[in-house]
Amino acid sequence: MGKDLKNRLDDVYQNYLEGNISRRDFVKFAGIAGATLGLAGGPFGLVRNAFASKSITVHSWGGTTSEALRKFAFDPFTKATGIEVIDAAFTGMDDFLTQVKASFPPGGEFNIAHLSAVYDYARYTDLDFGVVLDESKIPNLKNVMTKMTDTLRGITNGTLSAVPYDLGQTGIAYNTNEISKADAEKLGASLLYEKSLKGKLGSWGGDFRTNMWYAALHTGQSPNNITDIDAVWDALTQQRSLMKKYWASGSELMSLLANGEIFATVAWSGRVAALQDQGHPIGYLSPDGTYSWMEYMYVIKGTDLDVAQQLLNFMLEPDAAIAVAQGQKYPPALDPTKVEMPDDVKKLPAFDPTGKLNGYLFADPAYWNKHQIEWAEKWDRIIAGA
Tens of pLDDT, residue by residue over 22-49, are 545 554 555 554 444 444 444 444 444 4
Residue 353 lies in a domain: no
Nearest Cα neighbor of 174 from 52, 108, 257 is 257
Residues 23 and 141 in one domain: yes
Q: How far apart are CA 300 and CA 57, in angstroms?
A: 11
How many angstroms separate the CA atoms of 138 and 307, rounded?
Answer: 11
Angle in degrees, 0-180, between the axes of helices 2-17 and 23-37, rounded to the nearest 10: 160
Helix (H) or strand (E) holding 246: strand 243-247
The single-letter code of the amino acid at 233 is W
Looking up residue 44, the CATH number of its domain turns out to be: 3.40.190.10
Indicate if the pLDDT at residue 10 is higher than 90: no
333 contacts 321 by C-beta, under 8 angstroms: yes
Are 129 and 179 in a shared domain? Answer: no
The answer to the question of residue 334 being in a domain is yes
The predicted-structure confidence for 92-112, as pLDDT tens digits, reads as follows: 788 899 999 998 877 678 999
Domain membership of residue 33 (yes or no) is yes
60: left (phi over 0), alpha (psi -120 to 50) or beta: beta
Q: Answer for the pair 174, 191: CB distance below 8 angstroms, yes or no.
A: yes
What's the domain count of the chain?
2
* DSSP 8-class letter at 300: P
124 assigned to some structural domain: yes
What pLDDT sits at residue 21? Answer: 57
Task: Provide DSSP, 250-267.
Answer: HHHHHHHHHTTS-SEEEE
Confidence of residue 18 (pLDDT cuts 50, 70, 90): low
Count of CB atoms situated within 10 Å of the CB of 169: 21
Phi then psi for residue 352, to 5 deg, are: -120, 110
Task: Tell me which residue of 66, 76, 95 sits closest to 311, measured CA to CA.
Answer: 76
Mean pLDDT value of segment 240-258: 95
Q: Please indicate, yes or no, if residue 360 is contained in any of the structural domains.
A: no
| Chain segment 143-197, per-residue pLDDT in tens | 999 999 999 999 999 999 999 999 999 999 999 999 999 999 999 999 999 999 9
Asked, for residue 188, whether it belongs to a domain, the answer is: yes
Q: Which helix (H) or strand (E) holds 167?
A: strand 162-175
Asked, for residue 358, whether it belongs to a domain, the answer is no
CA end-to-end span of the chain, whole Å?
63
Residue 183 belongs to some domain of the structure: yes
My answer on whether 76 and 223 are in the same domain is no
User: Residues 74, 174: one domain?
Assistant: no
Domain of 227 in residue numbering reads as 169-292+367-383
Residues 224, 307, single domain; the answer is no
| Residue 343: predicted pLDDT | 97
Question: What is the reported pLDDT for 77?
Answer: 96
> Is residue 178 located within the same domain as residue 264?
yes
Are 123 and 262 in the same domain? no
CA 138/CA 342 separation, integer angstroms: 24
Average pLDDT of the chain to the nearest whole number: 88
Q: Is there a contact between 88 and 94 (Cβ–Cβ < 8 Å)?
A: no
Whether 52 and 185 share a structural domain: no
**Residues 136, 30 share a domain:** yes
The pLDDT confidence band at residue 9, using thresholds 50, 70 and 90, is low
Annotate 308-331 with DSSP letters as a single string: HHHHHHHHTSHHHHHHHHHHHTS-
Please count the helices (runs of H) and the strands (runs of E) in the chain.
18, 9
As a whole number of angstroms, the distance between CA 187 and CA 191 comes to: 5
Residue pair 174/264 in contact (Cβ under 8 Å)? The answer is yes
Q: What angle do CA 111, 271, 124 make, to 5 degrees?
A: 30
What's the pTM? 0.74
Q: Do 130 and 236 belong together in one domain?
A: no
Please give the average per-residue pLDDT across 320-349, as a whole number: 95
Q: Is there a single domain that holds both residue 101 and residue 118?
A: yes
Do 85 and 174 lie in one domain? The reply is no
